[in-house]
Structure 1
Amino acid sequence: MGGARDGDSALSSAAPGALMASFTATDISALRHRVARLAAGNGLHGDRLDDFVLAVYEILTNAVRHGGGTGSMRLEHLDGDLVCQVDDDGPGFSPGARADNAVPRTGGRGLRLARELTDSLTITHRAPGTSIQLRTSTRHPLPTGQGIRPATPS
């Protein structure tokens, strides 16, 4: 999934129950509402729904702020989990730069918050860009915040 192209911010569905979108800052609010509807339709409710939607919002916002102003996302229900992957083509960041619990005075809380609000968060560093994958179970409530897992090199 690459970044958004000019005029390519429309939302689309790749498969039933899946959502794919390229986005810019102006698309994030509408995309957040679509994510909430899809997540609720796949069994998330209450605090787990709110937590997942907020985590996705934080990662979308990070992609715009730090990833060159555009990004792309895919949200789908796989094996009892809601899986959201957000990709950008920005300069990326050093592995481990935000994996610890140190919080800067202003900003810098998006990854930490997303990690705490979902069952897992995986970061894949590319050249250029970053992919973030969030997972939350729809099968039954699980403790959230299991931590950031680096992607396995392929």
Structure 2
Amino acid sequence: MTNAEPDAPRTVVPIESAVLIAQAFDQAQVTELRHSVTSCAYASGLRGQRLDDFVLAVNELITNAVRHGGGRGSLRLWRQPGRLVCEVADHGHGISAHRLRDRSRPAPETAGGWGLWLARELSDTMDVDTGDAGTLVRITATVDR
């Protein structure tokens, strides 16, 4: 028998087990935010090329949010067991279904169109939820420790 009252609220474990960054941003915060992501990813166990790849993928997503998603966005970075998760959301008009289906590498002479392709290539997983109200992209990186 416990001393807890029968109607006492239960503790809920959040899905995001360790939120590291939750920040709105615009063009002025891109560089600072990239540095914060780098520090948190390193502290979470990413090293070397894996760290560089993850930070570049995140940078592409936040740059896309500013360029194509209404000039601003929000970023959340958190730890889950064995992985680091980053979510970037914007308030743009969404990404076309054709663009999302096209997984081919952009032509070398193409000035734009590299962001989503790079983010997909440089992360372990990438999920996109897009529509008229904006886009949310979630990427992950496996952390060894």
Shift of 1:139: 2.3
**Structure 1 runs not aligned, ≥5 long:** 1-13, 141-154
Shift of 1:126: 3.2
Gap change, CA 1:39 and 1:17, over 3 Å in 2: same
Q: Which residue of 2 is the match for residue 114 of structure 1? A: 119
1:134 aligns with 2:139: yes
Native 8 Å contact 1:17 1:38 kept in 2: no
Which residue of 36, 45, 53 corresponds with 1:34? 36
Q: Distance in 1 between matches of 2:124 and 2:98?
A: 19
Q: What RMSD over aligned residues (CA atoms) do the two structures have, in Å?
A: 1.8
Shift of 1:93: 1.5
Which residue of 45, 48, 67 corresponds with 2:50? 48
Native 8 Å contact 1:52 1:136 kept in 2: yes
**Deviation string, structure 1 residues 2-48 (Cα, Å, up to 9, x no partner):** xxxxxxxxxxxx98551111000110000000000000000000000
- Describe the SS at the equivalent of 1:87: strand
Moved over 4 A (4+): 14-17
Native 8 Å contact 1:95 1:125 kept in 2: no
Larger radius of gyration: 2
- Describe the SS at the equivalent of 1:85: strand
Greater helix share, 1 or 2? 2
**Deviation string, structure 1 residues 105-144 (Cα, Å, up to 9, x no partner):** 211101111111110111001331000001000027xxxx
**Structure 1 range deviating more: 92-101 or 29-38:** 92-101
Shift of 1:100: 1.9
**Structure 2 runs not aligned, ≥5 long:** 1-15
Which residue of 70, 78, 83 corresponds with 2:85? 83
- Describe the SS at the equivalent of 2:99: coil
Q: Distance in 1 between matches of 2:125 and 2:33?
A: 21
